Amino acid sequence: MPLQSDAELLQAFQVPETRESAYTQLIRKYQERLYWHIRRLVVGHDDANDVLQNVLIRVWKGLDGFRSDSQLFTWLYRIATNECLTFLEQQKRRLSISLDQEGSAHLADRVRADQHFDADKAEWKLQLAIQELPEKQRLVFTLRYYDEMPYGEMSQVLETSEGALKASYHHAVKKVEDFLLNH
């Protein structure tokens, strides 16, 4: 019988006989949400899968040390967010461009290159607008807009103040609105 609550899954993970089953159930529970969080930040499907695999490895290795100070979901998002930032930083170095300047154009080009891209559709315009945002604003906008994450939880994930997050989100929304109105 599958375990449902995070507490039950964490408890089962501590028992050697049920460890793998508990981990598998935990991944099934959160994998899709983590994938889409990652995908919105790194854009490409293959890159998102690669980052997700790194996240799952880090979760497996770190789950024994999870202290339940925060919700499990918040902890998973923090790992996924950090892996995304690491991936984006590696890409920035590899491409030798700044994501806040020429790099946002590179990400926008990747959105346009997607086989499902249709420039007339609102979702694609929104994606292009999001890729124009500076990295921190893009992250905050994604967590708030798509994942509807409360500022308190976001503060734990990003380890910054709620006030700073609200300001970043406000600026991001304004930039997205301006982009959508002018493109």
Lowest-pLDDT range of 6-10, 48-52, 53-57, 103-107: 103-107
Q: Which amino acid is at 118?
A: D
Residue pLDDT, tens place only, 138-169: 989 988 888 888 999 899 888 899 999 999 99
The CATH number of 98-183, from 2.60.120.380, 3.40.390.10, 1.10.10.10, 1.10.3720.10, is 1.10.10.10
Residues 83, 41 contacting (CB under 8 angstroms): no
Helix residue ranges per DSSP H, the chain:
6-13, 19-42, 45-62, 72-95, 102-113, 122-131, 135-145, 151-158, 162-182
Confidence grade of residue 99 (pLDDT, cut at 50, 70, 90): very low
Q: How many Cα atoms sit within 13 Å of 119 on the Cβ side?
A: 6
Domains 1-94 and 98-183 fall in the same CATH topology = no
CATH number listed for the domain at residues 1-94: 1.10.1740.10
Per-residue confidence (pLDDT) for residue 119, from 0 to 100: 52
Parse the chain into domains and list their residue ranges: 1-94, 98-183
Which pTM was predicted? 0.71
Residue 1 CB burial class (10 angstroms; 0-12, 13-18, ≥19): exposed
